[in-house]
């Protein structure tokens, strides 16, 4: 009959020191406010590959900026259309209604990639940056809703009453004026501060709410705000020209396309000194990365400068009276490419942030091991006779 010979385990040792568990460290993250996006297949796949993730971020950021540029400065150009319509240009009124509706749609559409960007960048410095501006972030959400309501009210009023009285038109022009001013004042400043705070490029420490207006006096912040405002005017100028192209062959539509091209050309030319100001305000580490330390950043910068020359060429043709569909769409594609390349250079100004992980030691507990038993291959009596008959063991016994 076979019997089991127990082998006693080692005695319990003293409590071991706290150690890090890789599973625990990877599972503990800063809580994200976007649980609904947690199962997005594309973002999860992009997070596994750094190159694909960076390309996704760059594509989402360029689309977000293009939409928000038109949504921010487009309402101001609607005031120009209102003024031209009051002088008898019905094509301007039709183009203005198209532009007002386009700005409302892009405000909603541009918010979606912004939410995805916030979810993807939450553990890469964005959560800490938002913690430094708690009241400003909440205030910005209400300002976004306020701008959307003003723009929606302006579109509905204009479509319902295209030819109001002079007093009603002046009152109606206040809606896009307030919506555009609200967007261009609050959101560029907030986004620039968040970007610099997440990269550690601000001089102030701690909560930034008391010093928020003082940040406007810093060159690194003011230059980027000016860069965004000019980009918004340039993009809105092309949107104005596109809305004017939709009114052809109505009389006066050709002048709308030319005016939009001239606005875009003037804003793009002003981007040259403002862009130079932005480059001079960069820290030395960003200069090193854009001038050869980072190959991708250098390529994005120099190719975007070449694409800007192409954009200026097409905008010049548009401003001089070439109002063909081919020229306008070439200018639009050139601007999209420039924004995409400039966004890549902007992303490469600083090294990628390591995800913030909250590390906690494992709970202290004694080391225990379950007792292990081995089954003997022979019966107990035969094993005992074998051991006793061994000459070595019998000599030891003697």
- Rounded CA-CA distance 97/91 in Å is 10
Residue-wise DSSP of 108-131: HHHHHHHHHHHHHTIIIIIHHHHH
* 3-class DSSP string for 360-395: CCCCCCCCCCCCEEEECCCCHHHHHHHHHHCHHHHH
For the record, the structure tokens of 397 come out as 């016994």
| CA–CA separation, 84 and 25 (whole Å) | 63
Q: Which residue, 192, 232, 227, is CA-closest to 212?
A: 192
Question: Considering the entire predicted model, what is its pTM?
Answer: 0.72
Q: Where are the beta strands (DSSP E) in 35-77?
A: none
pLDDT digit string (tens) for the chain, length 398 residues: 444 444 444 444 444 433 334 333 333 344 445 444 444 444 444 445 777 888 888 899 999 999 999 999 999 999 999 998 888 888 899 999 999 999 999 999 998 988 888 888 887 777 777 777 777 777 878 888 999 999 999 999 999 988 888 899 999 999 999 999 988 888 888 888 887 777 766 766 677 766 677 777 788 888 888 999 999 999 999 999 999 998 877 777 889 999 999 999 999 999 999 988 988 888 777 777 777 777 887 888 889 999 999 999 999 999 998 889 999 999 999 999 999 999 888 877 765 554 444 444 444 455 455 555 545 454 545 545 544 555 544 444 44
- Any alpha helices (H) in 124-218, and if so which ranges? 127-131, 134-160, 166-198
CA gap 118, 309 in Å, rounded: 32
Looking at residue 371, its pLDDT comes to: 52
Q: What's the confidence (pLDDT) of residue 385? A: 52
Residue 360 pLDDT = 44
pLDDT at 190: 81
What is residue 350's predicted lDDT score, i.e. its pLDDT?
63
Cα→Cα distances 343→150, 168, 192, 319, Å: 30, 42, 13, 26
Which pLDDT belongs to residue 80? Answer: 92
Position of tokens 């694409």?
Answer: 307
């Amino acid at each position: 009959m076979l019997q089991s010979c127990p082998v006693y385990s080692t005695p319990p040792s003293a409590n071991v020191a706290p150690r890090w568990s890789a599973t625990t460290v990877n599972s503990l993250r800063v809580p994200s406010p976007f649980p609904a996006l947690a199962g997005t297949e594309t973002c999860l796949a992009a997070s596994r590959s750094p190159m694909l993730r960076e390309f996704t971020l760059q594509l989402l950021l360029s689309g977000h900026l293009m939409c928000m540029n038109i949504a921010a400065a487009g309402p101001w150009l609607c005031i120009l259309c209102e003024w031209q319509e009051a002088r008898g240009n019905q094509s301007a009124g039709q183009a203005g209604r198209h532009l007002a509706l386009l700005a409302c749609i892009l405000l909603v559409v541009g918010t979606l990639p912004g939410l995805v960007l916030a979810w993807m960048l939450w553990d890469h410095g964005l959560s800490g940056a938002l913690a430094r501006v708690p009241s400003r972030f909440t205030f910005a959400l209400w300002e976004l809703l306020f701008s959307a309501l003003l723009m929606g009210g302006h579109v509905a009023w204009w479509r319902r009453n295209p030819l109001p009285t002079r007093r009603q038109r002046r009152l109606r022009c206040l809606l896009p004026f307030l919506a555009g001013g609200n967007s261009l004042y609050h959101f560029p400043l907030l986004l620039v501060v968040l970007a610099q705070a997440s990269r550690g490029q601000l001089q102030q420490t701690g909560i930034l709410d008391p010093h928020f207006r003082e940040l406007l006096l810093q060159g690194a912040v003011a230059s980027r705000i000016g860069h965004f405002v000019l980009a918004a005017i340039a993009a809105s100028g092309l949107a104005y020209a596109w809305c004017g192209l939709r009114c052809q062959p109505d009389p006066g539509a050709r002048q709308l396309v030319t005016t939009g091209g001239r606005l875009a050309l003037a804003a793009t030319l002003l981007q040259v000194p403002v862009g130079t100001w932005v480059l001079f305000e960069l820290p030395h580490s960003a200069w090193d990365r854009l001038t050869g330390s980072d190959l991708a950043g250098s390529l994005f910068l120099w190719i975007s400068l070449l694409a800007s020359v192409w954009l200026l060429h097409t905008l010049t043709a548009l401003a001089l009276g070439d109002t063909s569909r081919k020229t306008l769409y070439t200018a639009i594609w050139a601007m999209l490419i420039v924004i995409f390349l400039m966004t890549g250079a902007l992303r490469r100004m600083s090294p990628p942030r390591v995800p913030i992980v909250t590390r906690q030691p494992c709970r202290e507990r004694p080391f225990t091991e379950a007792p292990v038993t081995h089954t003997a291959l022979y019966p107990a009596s035969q094993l005992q006779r074998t051991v006793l008959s061994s000459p070595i063991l019998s000599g030891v016994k003697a």
